[in-house]
Structure 1
Amino acid sequence: MRHFDHLSDAVRSDLFLHQPQDFHSESPRSVLAHALGATLYMPGSRSDLATTLRKRAAEGVRSMVLDLEDAVADRDVADAMLKVQETLDKLSSDPLPAQLFVRVRTPDQIRTIVDGLPEKSCHLQGFVLPKFSAATGARFLAEIANASEQSGLRLLAMPVLETQDVLYRETRDEALTAIRGLLHQYREFVLAVRLGATDLCGLYGIRRDRDLTIYDVGVVADLIAEVVNHLGRADGTGYAITGPVWEYFAGHERMLRPQLRQTPFAERQASSFRHHLVQSDVDGLLREVLLDRANGLIGKTVIHPSHVAIVHALSVVPQEEYQDALDILASDADGVRASGARNKMNEMRPHRRWAGRIVDRAAAFGVLHPDSSHVDVLSALLQGDDA
């Protein structure tokens, strides 16, 4: 698997100084977590799952989730389970070039799905665990550990934090501390922690407007900071935490000014492309992806294929940022040094963990050519996209 393989060799050569690197199901968890990128969810009740998964993979999606939980009505769960199992069987002879997960409702579904996999199947990466808490999560994780051992597969977990005990202030610290302890017991099986922003907002009857980001919703923004504090530490005890879903995918009448600057697009003779992005309401998504990263999150949950290109384009590492990271990691000394671009100070000790994450992201998504920009990547990915 490799990001941007759906682009032509010539386009990739123009865009990248360093191409994205290959990854596979047995890659280190840190590599797989950074390679998640935009994780596309789709209902497990769809009748054309295998065809749709292959189509999205051909379009550049590199992580997908078959959803048996919120996306499926209670009356349709049994039918959706059969469709998911049939889909996994169809994919067994020709695995997807993408990380594939199933979001289950119950721990029992994990065992049922794994038991039904074709022999020696290796195309299922793991499971997304909904409504995760210390009370409910132990059985989910134990089931994944047992299924991994008995099947010989490497199955990974992505717990979703979306319940009131982690959101309400009076129970939050205790809940997150307990979750941290539970995840530590199953560290080798935990790929990333996801945030269920829609459920969290729903606890307060809130739905953010598309002119705003999740960081404008105070109660959820407050929780994101606490989750990163408890679970996202870069000292070897933390986990990758992914950005919450962006749920809008069509234009609307705007109340606020667009959030995209005109200059970067004018410099690339792409002003009409900027207008297209604004009309498609993705300027809010662009801003939220940048805020996710500023707050310590990687990747993002998406529910529409048109969002994938946005997340992936902004994941490519600029050459200047990459060189700063290499300079920091190459130095054994402490102290402060001017960057190679002579426009900032690199502090060797506090920036070292940041530099490690930049190198990991560069391995997954590549490094921009000095003559290229994120506008060029967006243009290449969205050209001809009618989604």
Structure 2
Amino acid sequence: MKKVSPFALGATLYMPATRTDLLSVVMGEKLQGLRSLVVCLEDAVSEIDLDVALANLGTLLMDIDRRGGRPEDGPMMFVRPRNADMAAKLSAWPLMRHADGYVMPKLNLNNIDAWAKSVEGTDLYLMPTLETKEVFDPTAMVELRNALLETIADRVIALRIGGNDLMGCLGLRRPQSTTLYQTPMGYVIPMLAGVMGAAGFALTAPVFEQIHSQDLLKAELDLDMAHGLVGKTAIHPSQVAIIHRALQVSIDDLNSAKAILSDAAPAVFQFNGAMCEPATHLKWAENIVERARWHGLRTDKTANLSGAPLTLIEAAG
């Protein structure tokens, strides 16, 4: 399986499998600029509607097949089954090859082997969701990280942080006037960024459910970026462009990253008034270049706080 950049995900829009406009979104005809989407069979679909949702997914896959497959420049498409048993049944559908993979709800040590078996013999990627009470326990997350490394790590594009479910474990709901980082998630997200990120797993940020609070969404995205998160779940099309703008890279950061990655870079040097040390900042620099590759450069006036000319440094060598 070829490696997929987690930065390719961008804003990931969740859509219930019961929707009738899925094909136009999947084919890139509607919501242009969308990078990835999830056809959800889990929380977004009630039990009474499950048969309809599965039939609608089957129709979607047949329609994609009739069109000769999904366009290369269209959004990545993932399916979110209810559990590993459902995933195994879906994997047996020949047309499931038109999906990129599964979003795995409520991953834990008890179901990870079943999820691994559900995709055996396929080329489906996986995006496990961390959203159960065990996520609050760093020791449990170390154990889960090790299990991921031993089983499905080669299929994992990114780990998704299920903010609403995690808040629900505590009997809480996101406040309307603050970011998630001002709740107990302000402990969980940095902990996961450390435990999982240190093992090489990318993480995506939880959904922002206040659809009309764009300024608060932007503030939360700043914190998402500061914690190294590579994308964010979207629940409304109006959030997609805002998330993608937040993922853009400033010219100063890109120039700094290219200087760090240069074969001619000294062991320690100054750039834009900050110390750069390639041995320490290598991974950061690689991530900045990859982010810029997928999301481009910020062009707003605040992106160039140093006052340096807006010129792009090409790495030597």
Describe the SS at the equivalent of 1:206.
Answer: coil
Residue 7 (structure 2) pairs with residue 38 (structure 1): no
Which residue pairs with 2:181 in the alignment?
215
Describe the SS at the equivalent of 1:245.
Answer: coil
Describe the SS at the equivalent of 1:285.
Answer: helix
2 CA distance for matches of 1:27 and 1:307? 29
Change beyond 3 A, Cα 1:245–1:140: same
Residue 218 (structure 2) pairs with residue 283 (structure 1): no
2 CA distance for matches of 1:210 and 1:123? 38
TM-aligned CA deviation for residue 129 of structure 1: 0.5
Corresponding residue to 2:78 among 101, 106, 111: 101
CA contact (8 A) 2:26 2:75 kept: no
Residue 192 (structure 2) pairs with residue 227 (structure 1): yes
1 CA distance for matches of 2:177 and 2:64? 39
Residue 102 (structure 2) pairs with residue 127 (structure 1): yes
Q: Structure with the greater relative contact order (CA < 8 A, sep ≥ 6): 1 or 2? A: 1
2 CA distance for matches of 1:303 and 1:223? 21
Q: Which residue identity lines up with residue 43 of structure 1 in the other structure?
A: P
Overall identity of the aligned pairs, in %: 33
- Structure 1 portions without partners, runs of 5+: 1-25, 149-153, 251-280, 377-387
Which residue pairs with 1:238 in the alignment?
200
Corresponding residue to 1:189 among 155, 169, 175: 155
Describe the SS at the equivalent of 1:310.
Answer: helix
2 CA distance for matches of 1:329 and 1:40? 33
Which residue pairs with 1:354 in the alignment?
284
Which residue pairs with 1:14 in the alignment?
none
- Structure 2 portions without partners, runs of 5+: 304-317
Change beyond 3 A, Cα 1:375–1:329: closer
Runs of 4+ in 1 over 6 A off after TM superposition: none
Which residue pairs with 1:260 in the alignment?
none
- Stretch of structure 1 that moved more, 104-113 or 62-71: 104-113
How well do the aligned residues superpose, as a CA RMSD in angstroms? 2.1
CA contact (8 A) 2:88 2:117 kept: no
Which residue pairs with 1:306 in the alignment?
238
Which residue pairs with 2:126 in the alignment?
157
Residue 108 (structure 2) pairs with residue 176 (structure 1): no
1 CA distance for matches of 2:29 and 2:229? 24
Which residue pairs with 1:82 in the alignment?
55
TM-aligned CA deviation for residue 334 of structure 1: 5.5
2 CA distance for matches of 1:34 and 1:329? 19
CA contact (8 A) 2:10 2:231 kept: yes
TM-aligned CA deviation for residue 333 of structure 1: 5.7
- Stretch of structure 1 that moved more, 84-93 or 294-303: 84-93
CA contact (8 A) 2:164 2:174 kept: no
Change beyond 3 A, Cα 1:248–1:27: farther
Tell me how many residue pairs correspond in the alignment.
Answer: 298
Q: Which residue identity lines up with residue 163 of structure 1 in the other structure?
A: T
Change beyond 3 A, Cα 1:208–1:58: closer
1 CA distance for matches of 2:147 and 2:51? 30
TM-aligned CA deviation for residue 91 of structure 1: 1.4
CA contact (8 A) 2:27 2:75 kept: no
Deviations 1:140-189 (A, max 9, x none): 12212x141xxxxx21110101111222xxxx133212211221122111
Corresponding residue to 2:209 among 239, 247, 262: 247
Which residue pairs with 1:110 in the alignment?
87
CA contact (8 A) 1:141 1:157 kept: no
1 CA distance for matches of 2:197 and 2:264? 25
Corresponding residue to 1:366 among 291, 296, 299: 296
1 CA distance for matches of 2:51 and 2:140? 32
1 CA distance for matches of 2:182 and 2:266? 37
CA contact (8 A) 1:45 1:83 kept: yes
Which residue pairs with 1:138 in the alignment?
113
Describe the SS at the equivalent of 2:12.
Answer: strand
TM-aligned CA deviation for residue 87 of structure 1: 0.8
